[in-house]
């Protein structure tokens, strides 16, 4: 069967919080909330074919298709979502939303605080992954979906999958967590700290009160640092080696001599065109705070006790940001609770980015898992 792209997708906005404020883990409440989301495929009459797609740090609601006829950039998981793809829009109804705290249509630090008429900036409350999931649950209720057929995401999206599984186990038939962890490691926290420091030490950050001149330099450095963690040594060696960018010899200066330096600068420059520095601060802090075992005093198996539906875990051999051992720890905790769990450690040289690049392998794994869940539920 031929795989096709789904074409033009228009973002939608769901508003809530006027009379039903979102209670946050920090103790504050968030009112007048907007969530930007997209949908792909059609919800069937039983409303039992819905799948929630959860994005990584640098992603957003635009997971597949294009926004307009002139748009040449497909959504971040376009190779996985569409007719006859892993998340087959001929069968399933997909929902993808931008997390709160984001900068792509959902309420975040660069949104207007209706109480003051000004941008929130750093007056925006500090968020957690749990807060993001509670907002998504309100979107689920708005869409009148009683139960997701599955919930899927990679990296930070995988963290949200795990949070959904323990916070709303009654709301899903299955879940898929890819290249993720149950708690951010000290190394991950350290990388996030340095990235935030790069932003906050940019002269244009101005304690978050930037308007005409944003801290693009700091955000670019933060992105370059983070991007290094997404790659593996093998993939960087294969792609760049010690190749020089333009000259046949060293410049004996401090501009870009090596191809890898030019690549990182390109990634940093592209990122500042579409992402907000304050949102980067808030989202990385939410990732830092993510620790499912914290609520059970370090007992991960106890944290997963609410999980009562099949779960698939996928890791990648060269991922050193969220290595296979993190997924294996989750698998052991689930098995201890007698959860139906499927685990695959995929051989890949792409590093953490494999969850975006190993499409052929992911297609087979995800397609089989989701189709089996759908058939199983239909036969009940």
CA distance 38 to 360: 24
319 is catalytic: yes
Burial classification of residue 361, based on how many CB atoms lie within 10 Å of its CB (0-12 exposed, 13-18 middle, 19 or more buried): middle
352 is catalytic: yes
Cα–Cα distance for residue pair 126/213, rounded to 1 Å? 24
Crossing angle between the packed helical segments 186-200 and 216-230, to the nearest 10 degrees = 160
- CA dist., res. 216 & res. 346, Å (int): 36
Which of 60, 131, 192, 319 is catalytic? The answer is 319
Burial tier of 226 (Cβ tally within 10 Å: 0-12, 13-18, 19+) = buried
- CA dihedral 229→233→236→241, nearest 10 degrees, is 140
Annotated catalytic residue: which of 155, 174, 279, 349? 155
Residues β-bridged to residue 93: 50
In degrees and rounded to multiples of 5, residue 217 shows phi and psi of -60, -45
DSSP 8-state secondary structure symbol assigned to residue 370 = H
Residue 202 among the catalytic residues: no
What is the set of active-site residues? 155, 319, 352
């Amino acid at each position: 069967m031929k795989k096709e792209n789904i074409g033009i997708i228009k973002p939608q906005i769901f508003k809530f919080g006027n009379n039903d404020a979102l209670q946050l883990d920090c103790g504050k409440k968030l009112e007048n909330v907007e969530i930007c989301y997209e949908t792909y495929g059609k919800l069937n009459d039983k409303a039992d074919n819905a799948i929630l797609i959860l994005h990584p740090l640098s992603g957003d609601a635009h997971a597949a298709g294009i926004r307009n006829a002139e748009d040449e950039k497909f959504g971040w998981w376009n190779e996985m979502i569409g007719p006859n793809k892993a998340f087959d829009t001929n069968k399933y109804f997909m929902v993808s939303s931008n997390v709160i705290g984001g900068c792509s249509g959902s309420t975040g630090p660069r949104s207007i605080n209706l109480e003051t008429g000004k941008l929130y900036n750093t007056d925006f409350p500090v968020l957690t992954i749990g807060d993001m999931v509670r907002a998504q649950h309100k979107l689920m209720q708005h869409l009148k979906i009683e139960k997701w057929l599955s919930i899927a995401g990679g990296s930070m999206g995988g963290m949200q999958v795990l949070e959904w599984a323990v916070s709303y186990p009654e709301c899903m038939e299955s879940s898929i967590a890819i290249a993720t962890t149950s708690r951010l490691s000290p190394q991950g926290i350290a990388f996030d700290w340095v990235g935030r420091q790069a932003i906050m030490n940019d002269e244009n950050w101005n304690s978050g009160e930037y308007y005409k001149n944003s801290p693009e330099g700091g955000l670019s450095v933060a992105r370059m640092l983070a991007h290094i963690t997404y790659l593996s040594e093998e993939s960087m060696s294969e792609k760049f080696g010690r190749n020089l960018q333009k000259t046949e010899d060293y410049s004996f200066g401090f501009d870009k001599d090596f191809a890898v330096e030019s690549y990182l600068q390109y990634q940093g420059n592209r990122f500042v065109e579409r992402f907000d520095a304050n949102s980067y601060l808030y989202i990385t802090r939410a990732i830092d705070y993510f620790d499912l075992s914290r609520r059970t005093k370090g007992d991960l198996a106890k944290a997963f006790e609410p999980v009562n539906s099949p779960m698939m875990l996928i890791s990648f051999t060269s991922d050193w940001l969220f290595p296979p051992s993190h997924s294996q720890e989750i698998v052991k905790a689930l098995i201890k609770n007698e959860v139906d769990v499927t685990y695959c450690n995929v051989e890949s040289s792409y590093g953490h980015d494999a969850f975006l690049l190993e499409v052929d392998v992911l297609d087979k794994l995800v397609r089989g898992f989701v189709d089996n869940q759908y058939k199983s539920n239909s036969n009940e």
